[in-house]
């Protein structure tokens, strides 16, 4: 029997507004389920326009004092928050696995990555430097300073419900902004946990506010508000575009971390074992439900058979089961819609000649557990060549020349992450320059770290999270022209 005592110390079935835990008006609630069992694990308020406006008002009220603190004072509070996360890693990881389904080891990794982002931004808070520009006018000094943009609306998805908020809350608070956050209805507790962390770390009331519920109503209240000066969103391209359009009405800043369709190219000269290892990490983490997951493997003819055989062998060893089960490496998909999408795309690929060499169907555990799958003989007219599968399905597409691989890799409206394996240094520079992506893993299947800029181009979004660039997205540049000197 699963002991959830520790996890439930962080579960809040209320919204966090102005430092108070409150329900929605009319006490409207919705249920949250465990994707591994279908069991209800609690309820959350169905907040809408009124609750979001109250949260925005609280963030607005809290802004001057928070922005007015010394950078060091904000950093001290953020460091306390990072330490609290590390001190409670087990509880937070269990809560995450409970509502999201990923294996506990991956959940622990996500929580610790959240702590790393917060600590990184605490350190960066002290390095928000300006500039002195050599003046073209006599008797003048030209200065550039940076100021927090103001109240930030943050909307996050269900696949990394803890760390996606860490990147946003950490950066916003470090810059001196206050936040109204909306986690996904599927994984709200890992988002609401940020309210508990804010309370425990002594972050003043109103600096962090969290609402759950009616996504379109909350989004409209955020985008329609004059007070909210920035929207930061991670999720689908469809919703990102809606929010960007709506934000234009009040000319807000926005950062959009959207969908991906990552190619993974294996050249004949690649280290085969390293490429297989990298492929496993880039594809099957979180059961394939990450935005930088490889969707398409392009494998050169000379190495194709060997790569396919080795990868199939590895894929068959992946243990599927509840995230709480020891040794489980593949949890359930988030919900029935996700399962239906995977089944449809696999059906389309096999109908167009793809050959299933591992998995290929619903797992014997039932529910939304899907077998880790490998399909060979991919073709560019398959839907999976263009659409994000968001499941544990890899498709191998053969190619002959470097130019062909680059053309196929770039043949998508997305541009988030790309990967390739090759031992040829000149090719490494050539191919990385030719790939139209925001991030490129070269002989590396895992690329995310708080110290590097995460983000995409084209339909994968705008803006960067993490690194020194991540803070700029929360700062306005102000130019001072000082005369009479």
Residues noted as catalytic: 257, 291
Cα angle, residue 239 at apex, residues 119 and 380 outer, rounded to 5°: 100
Q: Which is nearer to ligand NAP, 148 or 157 (CB)?
A: 157
**Of positions 85, 197, 258, 394, contacts ligand NAP by CB under 6 A:** 258
Q: Which is nearer to ligand NAP, 157 or 263 (CB)?
A: 157
**Of positions 18, 123, 185, 199, contacts ligand NAP by CB under 6 A:** 185
- Footprint of ligand NAP on 220-239 (CB under 6 A): 234-236, 239
- 3-state class (DSSP) for residue 38: coil
Q: Which is nearer to ligand NAP, 186 or 189 (CB)?
A: 186
Q: Which is nearer to ligand NAP, 190 or 322 (CB)?
A: 190
Q: Using alpha carbons, select from 151, 219, 149 the residue that is nearest to residue 184.
A: 219
* Residue 242 sits in the site that holds ligand NAP (CB under 6 A): yes
x-or-dash string of contact with ligand NAP, 374-413, rule CB under 6 A: --------------x-------------------------
Residues near 401 by Cβ (< 8 Å), separated by ≥ 6? none
Phi, psi of 433, rounded to the nearest 5 degrees: -70, -30
Q: How far is CA 124 from the centre of its chain?
A: 20
Closest approach of ligand NAP to the CB of residue 437, in Å: 12
- Footprint of ligand NAP on 138-167 (CB under 6 A): 155-160
Alpha-carbon distance of 127 to 124, in angstroms, equals 5
Closest approach of ligand NAP to the CB of residue 239, in Å: 4
Count of residues engaged in binding ligand NAP, rule: CB under 6 A: 28
Residues near 32 by Cβ (< 8 Å), separated by ≥ 6? 40, 41, 42, 43, 44, 99, 185, 186, 187, 188, 189
Cα angle, residue 182 at apex, residues 177 and 185 outer, rounded to 5°: 165
* Residue 216 sits in the site that holds ligand NAP (CB under 6 A): yes
The two structure tokens encoding residue 469: 């660039």
Closest approach of ligand NAP to the CB of residue 216, in Å: 4
Q: Is 5 exposed, middle or buried (0-12, 13-18, 19+ CB in 10 A)?
A: exposed
User: What does each C-alpha distance from 162 to 102, 106, 116, 170 come to in angstroms?
Assistant: 12, 12, 12, 12
- Footprint of ligand NAP on 445-464 (CB under 6 A): 456, 461
Q: Which is nearer to ligand NAP, 205 or 242 (CB)?
A: 242
**Interface contacts to ligand NAP, rule CB under 6 A:** 155-160, 182, 184-186, 215-216, 219, 234-236, 239, 242-243, 257-260, 291, 388, 416, 456, 461
């Amino acid at each position: 029997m699963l002991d959830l005592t520790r996890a439930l110390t962080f579960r809040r079935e209320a919204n966090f507004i102005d430092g108070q835990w409150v329900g929605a008006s009319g006490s409207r609630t919705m249920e949250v389920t465990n994707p591994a069992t279908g069991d209800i694990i609690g309820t959350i308020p169905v907040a809408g326009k009124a609750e979001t406006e109250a949260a925005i008002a609280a963030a607005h009220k809290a802004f001057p004092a928070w922005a007015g603190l010394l950078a060091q004072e904000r950093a001290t509070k953020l460091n306390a928050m990072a330490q609290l996360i590390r001190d409670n890693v087990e509880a937070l990881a269990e809560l995450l696995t409970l509502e999201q389904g990923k294996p506990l080891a991956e959940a622990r990794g996500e929580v610790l990555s959240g702590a790393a982002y917060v600590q990184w931004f605490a350190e960066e808070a002290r390095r928000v430097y300006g500039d002195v520009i050599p003046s073209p006018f006599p008797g003048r000094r030209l200065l550039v300073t940076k100021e927090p943009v103001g109240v930030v609306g943050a909307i996050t998805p269900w696949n990394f419900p803890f760390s996606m908020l860490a990147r946003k809350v950490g950066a916003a608070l470090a810059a001196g902004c206050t936040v109204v956050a909306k986690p996904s209805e599927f994984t709200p507790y890992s988002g609401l946990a940020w309210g508990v962390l804010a309370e425990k770390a002594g972050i003043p009331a109103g600096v962090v506010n969290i609402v759950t519920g009616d996504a379109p109503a909350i989004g409209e209240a955020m985008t329609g508000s004059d007070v909210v000066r920035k929207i930061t969103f991670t999720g689908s391209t469809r919703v990102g575009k809606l929010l960007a359009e709506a934000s234009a009405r009040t000319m807000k800043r926005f950062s959009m971390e959207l969908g991906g369709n990552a190619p993974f190219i294996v050249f004949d000269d690649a280290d085969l074992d390293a490429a297989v290892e990298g492929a496993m990490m880039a594809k099957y983490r979180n059961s394939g439900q990450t935005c930088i997951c490889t969707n398409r493997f392009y494998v050169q003819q000379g190495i194709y058979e060997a790569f396919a055989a080795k990868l199939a062998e590895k894929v068959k060893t992946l243990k599927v089961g509840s995230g709480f089960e020891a040794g489980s490496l593949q949890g359930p998909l988030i919900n029935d819609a996700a399962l239906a999408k995977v089944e449809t795309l696999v059906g389309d690929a096999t109908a167009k000649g793809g050959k299933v060499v591992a998995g290929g169907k619903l797992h014997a555990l039932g529910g939304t557990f899907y077998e880790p799958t490998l399909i060979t003989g991919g073709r560019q007219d398959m839907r999976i060549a263009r659409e994000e599968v968001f499941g544990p399905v890899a498709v191998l597409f053969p190619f002959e020349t470097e130019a062909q691989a680059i053309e196929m890799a770039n043949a998508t409206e997305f541009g988030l992450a790309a990967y390739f394996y090759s031992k040829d240094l000149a090719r490494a520079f050539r191919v990385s320059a030719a790939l139209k992506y925001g991030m490129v893993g070269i002989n590396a299947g895992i690329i995310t770290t708080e110290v590097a800029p995460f983000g995409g181009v084209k339909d994968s979004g705008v803006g960067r999270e993490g690194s020194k660039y991540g803070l700029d997205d929360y700062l306005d540049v102000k130019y001072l022209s000082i005369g009479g000197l």
